[in-house]
Amino acid sequence: MANPRQPPEAAPAGGPPAGGAGSGGGVRGRHLFGTDGVRGRVGTDPMTVEGVLRLGWAAGRVLAAHGGARHGVVIGKDTRNSGYLFESALEAGLSAAGVSVFLLGPFSTPGVSFATTRLGAAAGIVISASHNPYTDNGIKFFGPDGKKLPDAVEEAIEDQLTAPFVQVPIAELGQVRRLERIREDYLDFCCASLPAGMSLQGLTLVVDCAHGATYRLAPALFERLGARVIALGVHPDGLNINAGVGSLHPEVLAETVLREGAECGIALDGDGDRVIFVDRRGAVIDGDGLLYVLALDRLEERRLAGPVVGTLMSNLGLEESLARQGIRFCRSAVGDRHVLACMEREGGVLGGESSGHLIHLDLAPAGDGLLSALQVLRAMWRQGRGLDELCRSLHRYPQKMVNVPWPRGTPVPAESILGPDFERARGFIGEPARILIRPSGTEPVVRILVEGGEGPGLESALDHLVGRLCDLRDQVS
């Protein structure tokens, strides 16, 4: 398959469109927030010390206007070396706005959501770029309900960035505390999602923490439940997060599962909100496979309400396999906030993405890799069957995806322009054929997904679509 060509002067990952920065702060202007908060390359807009300082101050001003100064803000981070830099900047900005801060240190994204609600905080902030390399970082916000901030609040924070930076009087500066006990509280919360008497005694689990935020949490959780844990990716050095490990790189995990004769392998991403599995035969089970296992287990236990919610990227085979079990399937736009919105609208309790970002709305308000892993283990324990057996009735169509570098602010061609190219690609794929082209909300790329047929034509379809998109991109660059 042809390699996508690099565009001229590609924008940094997750940064704002060209021209969006303002003087004196580097993060002014609208459209700062992407589908998963603010994200970019460390040292460039918006991820500079001054930019994050002002972002913390702006968020503090907005929260203080709604009583947030009394309740404080929780801050957690993953293991990137730049996390210390931005933690201090956020802390200073919030304090200058009169908002107190609770520091968690390295902690998973869903753990910060939990801590926010447990402490009754005005908001939670996570310093993380999730599955991106250490050269990137980002800022995610949770509201007091543990859910991502509504668009209106994010817009208010962006608007506040245009105001002059004014510090509150010294007597009103926010206070800063470090929290220690919350880690055990979070593990207690995860264990409470399981039936009384459930144990992992006698099971060998290989757990890959991606050298990320769960490097302490995950082994402690599974060992507490009685499993023998073989831990991978638990030696963060600030630079190795997601590097050849975790949910994006399950190869070593699969090899270890086979070598150790483990029941399964569990791979998390850098901030702990995604999980994928490897079954005892070494096969990778992504978010689509896990949704299928969880949906059928819930159906059998009468714990499934509403439809299962996936995204436009979910495999067509998942939709058809669930339909054969009498389970309705709905698709949302890509991104966990869109999945959650669809679940709430349709009355669902289970949803997620192929990447392994799964939401159990009756258990937690945000996607949680550790909580999701426990629910999969619960299904295996309850049914007394391996993950390979639980996935056996899931049919999947061949699917391939590629990222094409795409400068921020460059429009993606409309389907009316690409119509003939879609038809040619469908001819390569066969029936059924599904094609999706969309810009990423977190990286300066366009994602092309092709799916269907018997598989051989997918490479040719991708070759054609990649070449056409690169030509169109280069014409306007």
Of residues 95, 108, 130, 355, which has the active-site annotation?
130
Two tokens, residue 198? 């459930």
> How distant, in Å, are the alpha carbons of 308, 380, 393 from that of 389?
21, 9, 8
C-beta neighbour count of 143 within 10 angstroms: 19
Residues in contact with 409: Cβ distance below 8 Å, sequence separation at least 6, in sequence order: 11, 17, 18, 19
Residue 21 near residue 45 (C-beta atoms within 8 A):
yes
The position carrying tokens 């190219």 is 421
Residue 253 near residue 208 (C-beta atoms within 8 A):
yes
- Provide the CB-side half-sphere exposure for 85 (13 A, CA): 16
Give the sign of the dihedral formed by CA 320, CA 323, CA 327, CA 328.
positive
Give the sign of the dihedral formed by CA 243, CA 360, CA 31, CA 88.
negative
Q: How far apart are CA 64 and CA 182, in angstroms?
A: 24
Residues in contact with 38: Cβ distance below 8 Å, sequence separation at least 6, in sequence order: 14, 27, 32, 46, 47, 55, 138, 139, 140
Q: How far apart are CA 66 and CA 72, in angstroms?
A: 12
> How distant, in Å, are the alpha carbons of 215, 234, 272 from that of 220?
9, 12, 14
As a whole number of Å, the CA-based R_g of the chain is: 22
Q: How far apart are CA 28 and CA 12, in angstroms?
A: 17
The position carrying tokens 């570098």 is 405
- Provide the CB-side half-sphere exposure for 475 (13 A, CA): 9
The region, left, alpha or beta by phi > 0 then psi within -120 to 50, assigned to residue 10 is beta
Residue 316 near residue 397 (C-beta atoms within 8 A):
yes
SS3 content of the chain, % helix, strand, coil (to 5): 35, 20, 45
Give the sign of the dihedral formed by CA 93, CA 29, CA 123, CA 312.
negative
Q: Tell me whether residue 416 is one of the annotated catalytic residues.
A: no
Two tokens, residue 427? 């001819």
Active site residues: 130
